[in-house]
Structure 1
Amino acid sequence: MPKVVIVGAGPTGATLALLLARRGISVTLIEAARDFQRQFRGEGLMPSGLDALAQMGLDSLLQTVPHRPLSAWEFWLNDRRLFRADEPLGSARPCTLVSQPPLLEALVQAAQSKPGFEWMAGTAVKDLLWNAERVVGVHLANGRTVEADLVIGADGRASVIRQRAELDLKTQPKSIDVLWFKLPAPEGYEADNRFCTVVKGGRVFSLFHGAEEGKMHLAWAISPDEPTEQKDWAATFATLVPPEFVAHFRAAGDAIAPPIRLSVLVGRCPRWHRPGLLLIGDAAHPMSPVRAQGINLALRDAIAAANHLIPILKTANPSALDPTALDRALVRIQAEREPEIIQAQKLQAHEASRGEMLRRFGNLRQGLSAFSPVVGPLVKRVWIQQQQPLREGITLAQLEV
């Protein structure tokens, strides 16, 4: 049986490993971390991501891990609500927040029940193993070598596999970082879990109830060179949040956890593959945090990869594997997925530019706020229409194998 090595057990790597293992393909999934409890993992599943999991037969698995649907999206300018848009915005399912660590654990556990699956946690990949111009495996930091007919890099935006394969990442100009805070959620917020985007006083931030019980998240946009020395965050936020949250933030004090600083990297590799090697997910195209596209596009990458790879890899005799056919499949995977990635990044940049315009131009912000009862419904209709590609997906992603 041909062997696949997948490096990185995030949503992309874990779901693709499970899909391959279910089809009887030998898969080794390698993860540098010993567990899935990273400081930050995105939680937002759009209808497109939920559909991808459903196609993989993972609806029931999703129900076993902490998850929470969003109730609505709200936009606030200068203490006045511009509009509220209730989920599911015409979709079959509402945007849902899911706790990634238990989801990934459940995916790996499901794959471990398959005879051809090997799980290697707490093991870093040091380099690629080459035979002439072809990748034929990986060198691990512990000195072990794992040979493979195909290596898949799903190891995120700082991908070691991408670097070792010398595949360029063309990045977009860096405009923001994000400080990510957690604090106790206000009473009653869980029952009406709105994703609130706030623009006030030259600041843009979002707050919502996460998948974790009783926890509010706050994402605070800053410039990359902005200092983040310790300050009274509770008092700062209390001057900016919507009026209903002011008392809660004033009382929050030390309950606000120190923030995690996320360096926002957005870009795309012109080429996702070498002979015997494929990049997918954030390794090939790190996404902006705008509208939570990363995990959703990663799941759709896994579907495309499975469709093209399983028919070639599902052979009992490794010597019968045609390397040329395999490499052609890698080209087709990029060709299929790249148009959606390009368009999604354009839509994310467009939405981010509108937020930046509101942040910079106080007169515009004040005008929209003052006339929100009149302009709010129109802005809402336009916004909902523009969200559909980012929610439903831009191209077809249908699991066929």
Structure 2
Amino acid sequence: MAQIIIVGAGRTGTALALLLVKHGINVTLIEAAKDFNRVFRGEGLMPSGLDALTQMGLSALLEDIPTRKLDGWEFIINGKPLFRVDEPMGASRPCTLVSQPPLLKALISEAQTHDGFVFIPGVAVKDLLRSDNRVAGVVLSDGRQLTADLVIGADGRNSIVRERTGLKLIKQPKNIDILWFKLAASPQFVDDNVFLTIVNSERVFSIFHGAESGKLHLAYVISAIEPTDYKQTNWAEIFASLSPAWLAEHFRHHADTIESPIKLSVVVGRCPQWHAPGILLLGDAAHPMSPVRAQGINIALRDVIVATNYLVPILSADAEHQQIDLALSQIQTEREPEIIRAQQLQLQEAAQGELLRKNSLVRSLLVQFAPLLSKIIKNSWLRRQHEMRQGITQVNLKV
């Protein structure tokens, strides 16, 4: 039976490991972190991601972990409401926020019920083993050497597997960095969990109630006018000054609950080639996504389905290495069109946001003519969301 090593126990690695071991394929899943108690940005399961979990037979997992549905999306420009769109926006299910640490733990727990699954947490991959010009395994930081018929790099945007393989990541020009905050929840978001985006002067932030009970999440776009000492800044007052009265009051009354921000450097790009003999990159290791409209987790789950379709038949049949390597190129060929289009749509969305942030005239015109323009802008926004929510290509689990 083929031996697979997956590096990275994020959403891509854990879901793929589970699907493979369900089909009797031996998988060793390696994760550098000792636990999942770290910041996860991608909580939004779009209809495409929810559909992927359903196809995998994993919908029931969501019943046992923290989740929260979004009720809508709203935009406020210079203090004036521009438009709101309610979920599910024509889909069968609304965007659903999921807490990733318990999701990953649940996936691993399920995988551990199957023979042939080994999980190695708290140990990093240091290098790759090679044999006959082919990747043949990994070298761990504790000195162990593990051999495999295929190594899959699912270790994120800063992938060590990608680096050691020499596969290139072509990055998009960097346009934003984000400060990520958590603070006490407002009853208004509990009753009506809108993803609220506020543009005021050159400052932009989005706020919503995450899957975690009692916590608002706030993503703040760093602009040139920001103070550099993020941890000493009076963020409650800054947020309040940009917000409508009800939200400003919440920021001021709960200032002591605003946690120190975490700076997220946004890396977006795509590898021209996701594979080499004996190695495959998936998820953010192959194509790191922008945070715009929460594409990362949804795209990753769809990567997993396509990879499973190609890998299970050949790995179950103990195929030759040459056949395995051919399947790797087929996986990229099928997935690449959706990745390219999704990143284009994200770039368009981000560009419009930057135009609003940097151009005071555009903001003033929107505010002045909001009654006339809001419907046109809303419809334009809705058209862009459809593909990012529903998926751009057909992805169906066939094994």
Q: 1:224: how far off? A: 8.7
Contact 1:177 1:224 in 2 (8 A): no
Structure 1 residues 37-84: Cα deviation after superposition (integer angstroms, max 9, x where no partner): 112342111110110001000110111110001000001101111001
Contact 2:202 2:223 in 1 (8 A): no
Task: Spell out the pairing of 1:33-44 with structure 2 (5 A cutoff).
Answer: 33-44=33-44
Q: Which residue of 2 aligns with 1:98?
A: 98
Give the TM-score normalised by structure 1.
Answer: 0.97
Q: Which residue of 2 aligns with 1:270?
A: 272
Q: Which residue of 1 aligns with 2:361?
A: 363
Contact 1:286 1:294 in 2 (8 A): yes
Q: Which residue of 1 aligns with 2:349?
A: 351
Q: 1:371: how far off? A: 2.2
Task: Spell out the pairing of 1:170-185 with structure 2 (5 A cutoff).
Answer: 170-185=170-185
Q: Which residue of 1 aligns with 2:378?
A: 380
CA root-mean-square deviation: 1.2
Q: Which residue of 1 aligns with 2:285?
A: 283
Aligned partner letter, 1:103: L
Q: Which residue of 1 aligns with 2:330?
A: 332
**Structure 2 counterpart SS, 1:356:** helix
Q: Which residue of 1 aligns with 2:59?
A: 59
Contact 2:40 2:100 in 1 (8 A): no
Q: 1:90: how far off? A: 0.2
Q: 1:370: how far off? A: 2.3
Task: Please give the alpha-carbon distance, in whole angstroms, between the structure 1 residues aligned to 2:191 and 2:228.
Answer: 33
Q: Which residue of 2 aligns with 1:18?
A: 18
Gap change, CA 1:115 and 1:322, over 3 Å in 2 = same
Q: 1:252: how far off? A: 2.1
Q: Which residue of 2 aligns with 1:191?
A: 191
Task: Please give the alpha-carbon distance, in whole angstroms, between the structure 2 residues aligned to 1:313 and 1:158.
Answer: 28
Contact 1:33 1:123 in 2 (8 A): yes
Structure 1 residues 84-124: Cα deviation after superposition (integer angstroms, max 9, x where no partner): 10000001110010000000000000000000111111111
Task: Spell out the pairing of 1:47-126 with structure 2 (5 A cutoff).
Answer: 47-126=47-126
Aligned partner letter, 1:256: I
Structure 1 gaps of 5+ residues are: none
Task: Please give the alpha-carbon distance, in whole angstroms, between the structure 1 residues aligned to 2:245 and 2:378.
Answer: 21
Aligned residue among 236, 239, 253 for 1:237 = 239
**Structure 2 counterpart SS, 1:118:** strand
Task: Please give the alpha-carbon distance, in whole angstroms, between the structure 2 residues aligned to 1:303 and 1:40.
Answer: 22
**Structure 2 counterpart SS, 1:49:** helix
Q: 1:225: how far off? A: 10
Deviates more, 1:60-69 or 1:363-372: 363-372
Contact 2:179 2:221 in 1 (8 A): yes
Task: Please give the alpha-carbon distance, in whole angstroms, between the structure 2 residues aligned to 1:301 and 1:228.
Answer: 38
Structure 2 gaps of 5+ residues are: none
Provide the aligned length of Structure 1 versus Structure 2.
397
Contact 1:288 1:294 in 2 (8 A): yes
Task: Please give the alpha-carbon distance, in whole angstroms, between the structure 1 residues aligned to 2:223 and 2:325.
Answer: 41
